Structure 1
Amino acid sequence: MQAEYRQRREQLMAKIGNSTAIFRSATTAVMHNDVEYNFRQDSDFFYLTGFNEPEAVVVLAPHHSEHRFVLFVQPKDPEKETWTGYRVGVEAAKELYGADEAYSIAELNEKLPKYLEKADRIYYHLGRDEKFNNTILKHWRGLIATYGKRGTGPIAIEDSNFVLHPMRLVKSQAELELMRKAINISVEAHNHAREFTQPGRYEYEIQAEIEHIFRLRGGVGPAYPSIVASGANACVLHYIENDRQMQDNELLLIDAGCCYGYYNGDITRTFPVGGKFTPEQKTIYDLVLSAQLQALAQVQPGNSWNLIHDTAVRVLVEGMLDLGILQGNIDELIKEEKYKPYYMHRTGHWLGLDVHDAGMYKQGEETWQILQPGQILTVEPGIYIAPNVKPAEGQPEVDNRWRGIGIRIEDNVLVTESGHEVLTAGVPK
């Protein structure tokens, strides 16, 4: 993979020209008191380096005569490593990760200016680490103050996301292999969960079976907190308590995906706990499935991103009109978003290193992203009729027979040269 990381850095440096790009590693997060969560590297940082330690900084300076790729890392420290794990260290960072130069992170303030003073601008994303944001701003202000004496230096800071994230949006062959692995493990886990589910079991039992397979197959673990939502819990989009006992004649919605090599699967399936739909459940399920299949058909290179959502919404609204859940003119209902009490989210998102992956959806007020080969996205329409749902203004009260039904169907889809490939087709729907 080092050749892949190097190629990504070269591509990014070609885009920024006579500028310097700076990327900060993720910070450690505290779970409680002095216990930390497992470390998870910042996705941009990992995309460019594969380096998986905190307290690190990447500097890309294509204009520098010797050091175009510089790493600042934690130095070796046997005493600290005894407690918190081995560190790569400064010398090995050059050897293992191909840096032109590496320094201790303690030297950042001393060494960074020489990689900035001849740059036209700084590419840096002002993230959640306010202390580091202020460090970058301090250096920039200092260089601006002395610009007149040198005649060179960065006159602006530009967000690196707008240069790097279009690169992340189209997956390489190496990325596709990791995505397929994450998704295949997710498929196995979902199929096992469906077979394991029965009335009387608890949602957390299903969660345990799913996440056991994630780790058993070499995954890092869940890509996000697993959603195992039975009955009316399925109407809560990000339900994660997973503590209810499942009953016969109700549905189970599972939204879970495996993280493998930092890449993620994201699958949702909804099925009857006891193995058989009630007539009302089957009616809503068939409607959501129809919306999903018609939306999937729009995943074609050259099509607009929003065409997928618009297609799903029209199918869902037409179906809810037929069922009496909505009333009125279909075009007006869509324009005024009268369906939102029952379908409140978009129909998908990009998928990759992040579950909601990097990449623009819209450029300007009217121009949506155009699909192109190598992109991976989710297609996930749903209908959620909560027990206490309040219809939109002017819409009828919902018949009790529909209340408490929540259904979502989600697949991971690769845009190909000739159309698309449903990577999660191994989970029945």
Structure 2
Amino acid sequence: MSAVVGGLRRAVSRVVPSVQASSALPTLLLAPGELAPGIQASEFAARRASLAARMPLGSCALVPATAVAYMTGVIPYPYRQDADFLYLTGITQPGAVALITAGQGDMVLFVTDPDETRERWDGARCSAAAATDVFGAVAAYPMSELPRQLPRMLGSSSAVYYDAGRHASSELRALSTAELGVREGALRALRTLAHAARWRKSPGELALMARSSALAEAGLLRAMRQSGAPGVGEHHLAAGFERDCRWGGAARMAYPPVVASGADACTIHYSRNDKALAPGSALLFDGGCELHGYCSDVTRTWPVGGRFSPAQRDVYQVVHGVQQQLLEWCRPGATLRQLHEQSVRLLAEGVSDLGLLPGRSAGVIAQGAIRAFYPHSVGHWLGLDTHDVPGVAHDTPLQPGVTLTVEPGLYISDQERYGALAGIGVRIEDVVQINDSPGCSVLSRSVPTDADSIEEFIARGRGEGEPELP
């Protein structure tokens, strides 16, 4: 492999005619040397070196960009890059494949062939010159050369780390493992290695995570104040949240926002967002955005009318108390699995105290009855994907630089036997960064979580005047 890479280094200048390197970068947002705001090209090289150090010598990793998906005909969906590819290269555009070798982490890039007609419609693409001069590849090839050159490179590798089922470029999908030149038995899963490398965030990544969370916070604060205005519906709040996030620089929502009033708050991934807000109901709002690749994910529950009913407050206080205890346990050495087990125990006690189930909390847990009220995990890793790095097990001890969500909830179905508690759904979710000391920082702390502060915030906002609908 090293001989191949050396030859490619010498051939770079004649592979593809140059396109301005800046066409592949959001130059207005970047300082010199950056590939993403606050993240230097040298950090991307260090990421590749970290991945390479996890691979045995003589092996390589094959990492494709996500293929373009189409709504219909030639109309594409907004493009979103594969998280592993973005993390390792910094390239946000489609039509590229990276080959990273063990040892130093040298990268060879296959990029889109120059095509003036296509660029007239879709804009300039990352050129071979940009691949080497900006993104740090030791060599670059046009994609049309991939079927000929890639087997030559992979054939000498003792192991090839490649997730063949991923949505790769059509050029790569068209080749079988044998046609790629991979030795029999040499194919390995990339996901575990890549996710282990991505799990702990750098200072630059944490800064982007904090900025992404701040945009979500601003959108939620506005939604809290707008929710009681006459004629406001779930869709108004969803639209306002997206507007605030995108105005602040977010490329997209991290996921379809959940704006669920009344009993629909008990539907975990409710996304119709099409009802008028009824006075006296509670509203569960779960929203997040994606800023320069990094996702936020924040949930709050509040009373539409500005005051919790006694039943709403009772359920809310249980969930809030549980979340506060869980945040105290977020520290290095703890595990996400332990946090979940604690959340189950504490919420089971709360369910028993509310009179929803007879018996002691241990019995509620043992019988599995708590799942009727709390069917999801207490949280998940967060980063370049909303449900980030699933290849990292939940029993992995937390380390400084890890980011996750902490989101206990209770969902009481709309059944008469639950009386005044029927149809109440409460979830409180924050973005948490694990530190050396103190144990954690809450990146979404500016949106109030305790019941009294929520009511005070809404009342203060209402006093400043109701928002006008367009």
1:379 aligns with 2:409: no
Q: Corresponding residue for 1:148?
A: none
Q: Superposed, which structure 2 residues align to 1:18-417 within 5 Å?
A: 18-62=58-102, 68-129=106-167, 132=172, 135=175, 137-139=177-179, 142=181, 144=183, 155-198=185-228, 200-360=231-391, 362=393, 368-387=395-414, 398-417=417-436
Partner SS for 2:372: coil
AA paired with 1:159?
A: A
2:432–2:441 Cα contact (<8 Å) kept: yes
1:88 deviation in Å? Answer: 1.9
Paired amino acid for 1:343 = Y
Alpha-carbon distance, 1:68 to partner: 3.0
Secondary structure of the corresponding residue to residue 214 of structure 1: helix
Counterpart CA distance in 2 for 1:107 and 1:207 is 46
SS at match of 1:138: coil
Residue in 2 that maps onto 1:150: none
Cα displacement (A) at 1:361: 5.0
Structure 1 residues 345-354 or 91-100, which shifts more?
91-100
Would the aligned equivalents of 1:187 and 1:426 in 2 still touch at CA under 8 Å?
yes
Structure 1 residue 313 displacement after superposition = 1.4
Q: Give 1:136 shift.
A: 5.1
1:204-248 deviations in Å (ceiling 9; x for gaps)? 111111111111111112111111111111111111111100011
Root mean square deviation, CA, Å: 1.9
Give the SS at the match of 1:427: coil
Q: Which residue of 1 aligns with 2:27?
A: none
> Gaps spanning 5+ residues in structure 2: where?
1-39, 450-470
* 8 Å CA contact retained: 1:21, 1:59: yes
Contact 2:226 2:232 (C-alpha < 8 Å) held by counterparts: no
Distance 2:258 2:77 in 1: 20
Letter in 1 for 2:286: D
Instruction: Give 1:163 shift.
Output: 1.2
Q: Is contact 1:413–1:422 with CA below 8 Å preserved after alignment? A: yes
Tell me if structure 2 keeps the 8 A contact 1:317–1:330: yes
Displacement of 1:352 in angstroms is 0.4
TM-superposed CA distance for 1:413, in Å, is: 0.5
CA distance in 1, matches of 2:285, 2:255: 12
CA contact (8 A) 1:169 1:359 kept: no
Work out the CA distance in 2 between the residues paired with 1:62 and 1:331: 50
Q: Could you tell me which residue of structure 2 aligns to residue 149 of structure 1?
A: none
Quickly say closer, same or farther: Cα 1:216–1:129, change in 2 above 3 A.
Answer: closer
Which deviates more, 32-41 or 162-171?
32-41
Cα deviation digits, residues 377-423 of structure 1 (max 9, x gap)? 100011111225xxxxxxxx832321111110000111100211111
Distance 1:335 1:361 in 2: 27
How far off its partner does 1:362 sit? Answer: 3.1
Supply the AA of the counterpart residue of 1:32. Answer: T
State the number of aligned residues.
405
CA distance in 2: counterparts of 1:45 and 1:63, whole angstroms:
19
Is residue 2:42 matched to residue 1:15?
no
Deviates more, 1:84-93 or 1:293-302: 84-93
1:148-171 deviation line (CA, Å, top 9, x unaligned): xxxxxx742111111111111100
Letter in 2 for 1:87: R
CA contact (8 A) 2:364 2:370 kept: yes
The equivalent residue for 1:424 is 444
CA contact (8 A) 1:120 1:155 kept: no
The gaps in structure 1 that reach 5 residues or longer are 145-153, 389-396
What is the match of residue 32 of structure 2? none
User: What letter is aligned with 1:54?
Assistant: P
Paired residue for 1:147? none
Where 1:425 maps in the other structure, the secondary structure is coil
Q: Secondary structure at the match of 2:98?
A: strand
* C-alpha separation in 2, matches of 1:362 and 1:79: 46
CA distance in 2, matches of 1:34, 1:352: 31
Deviation at 1:359, TM superposition (A): 4.6
Aligned-pair CA distance for 1:3: 0.8
Change (3 A) 1:266 1:143: closer
Would the aligned equivalents of 2:108 and 2:139 in 1 still touch at CA under 8 Å?
yes
- 1:166–1:107 Cα change, 3 Å: same
Question: 4+ runs of 1 displaced by more than 4 Å?
Answer: none
Q: Do the aligned partners of residues 82 and 200 (structure 1) sit closer, same or farther apart at CA in structure 2, a change above 3 Å counting?
A: same
Normalized against structure 1, the TM-score is what? 0.90
Match of 1:4 in 2: 43
Moved more, 20-29 or 321-330: 321-330
* Cα distance change, pair 61–247 in 1 and its aligned pair in 2 (3 A): same
Contact 2:348 2:362 in 1 (8 A): no
**Secondary structure at the counterpart of residue 274 of structure 1:** coil
